[in-house]
Structure 1
Amino acid sequence: QYDAVGLCYVHLPEAVRRPFYAKLIQSMKPGGEVFLEAFTHTQLAHQSGGPRSEDLLFTRNIIAHEFSELECIYLLELDTILLEGAYHHGPAHVVRFVGLKR
């Protein structure tokens, strides 16, 4: 069982994502945390990386729903600047989440 799980720009189709998150939560210890950062639908307006398919992108509501079994510690959509190499560089819109398993 895991104390912490990090999901950095893991963009999966919904049919894969939901069972993956369920197994992920099941595999966590009580007191374990999930840390997630991913692109939002608004990212489609930017050229700084990420999926070009809306169904692979997130909103705060999607994250809140899919991690509803966890206590939400932090959930925010925000603008940021990516400096992650040639393919992830420039203005971006992301969602950040921290959830705690009780």
Structure 2
Amino acid sequence: MSKQMWDDSFSDNDYIYGREPNQFIKEHYSVIPEGGRVACFAEGEGRNAIFLAEHGYEVTTYDQSEIGLEKTKQLADERGVSVKTVAKDLTAEKVEPYLYEGAVMVFGHVPKHDQAFLVQSMIDSVKPGGYVMFEVYSDDQLPYRSGGPQTEEMLYNPNDVLTWIDDYKCLHFYYGEADRVEGKRHLGLGHVIQVIIQKI
């Protein structure tokens, strides 16, 4: 999806993916060392970034949509936390390497030919010993009709993901169903890929 499409989506008065963190992040975030620096990739309106900031992390959020970043700042102000926001096209620009103790992404809807670049940028952004975690919709999501892109071109293949993370310590890999209630866009049972790796 283009920057304009995301700006249009995030122009909605509501938070289209809700204000609460993704369930996978909520359940597993504590693997990242307490108080560490965390990068949130393709973070949209900031729900996961704000959650992590509330739990004592120093958070930087990256997204191509200025409107999404503004809504992140608004939500941070409402919740009384500080989050740094950076406008970046994550399909064309890498985040500076070796900055973070953790990197997080939820769904990151980008075309297949950009997915490896995005995931490698996440991995590169963390220091040795750091953690990368993400949840994305799998190629099997389309029949579920519970959210996410309406084309397989924007979904993730589990074999691709396993190839991208092969050089790292895998702490968690899941390919299967998950129930998600996240704003207007993710509602009900879907099919996801979940990853937690440590860069050692």
TM-score of the two chains, using structure 2 as the length reference: 0.48
Query: Pick from 167, 184, 187: which aligns with 1:89?
Result: 187
Equivalent pairs, count: 102
Structure-2 separation of matches of 1:79 and 1:17: 21
Query: Pick from 127, 130, 140: which aligns with 1:42?
Result: 140
User: Letter of the aligned partner of 2:132 in structure 1?
Assistant: V
Once the two structures are superposed, residues 35-73 of structure 1 have per-residue CA deviations (whole angstroms, 9 ceiling, x without a partner) of 110101111001111111212212321111122232111
* CA shift for structure 1 position 93: 0.8
Query: Pick from 159, 182, 192: which aligns with 1:61?
Result: 159
Query: Pick from 100, 108, 111: which aligns with 1:2?
Result: 100
User: Unaligned 5+ residue runs, structure 2?
Assistant: 1-98
Structure-2 separation of matches of 1:52 and 1:97: 23
Contact 2:103-2:123 within 8 A present in 1 as well? no
Partner of residue 17, structure 1: 115
Contact 2:112-2:156 within 8 A present in 1 as well? no
Structure-1 separation of matches of 2:157 and 2:116: 15
Partner of residue 57, structure 2: none
Higher relative contact order (CA 8 A, sep 6+): 1
User: Unaligned 5+ residue runs, structure 1?
Assistant: none
Structure-1 separation of matches of 2:122 and 2:133: 12
User: Letter of the aligned partner of 1:83 in structure 2?
Assistant: V
Structure possessing the higher radius of gyration over alpha carbons:
2
Structure-2 separation of matches of 1:42 and 1:58: 9
User: Letter of the aligned partner of 2:169 in structure 1?
Assistant: E
Task: Indicate the SS of the match to 1:90.
Answer: strand
User: Letter of the aligned partner of 1:62 in structure 2?
Assistant: D
Structure-1 separation of matches of 2:115 and 2:176: 22
TM-score of the two chains, using structure 1 as the length reference: 0.88
Percentage of identical aligned residues: 27
User: Letter of the aligned partner of 1:70 in structure 2?
Assistant: Y
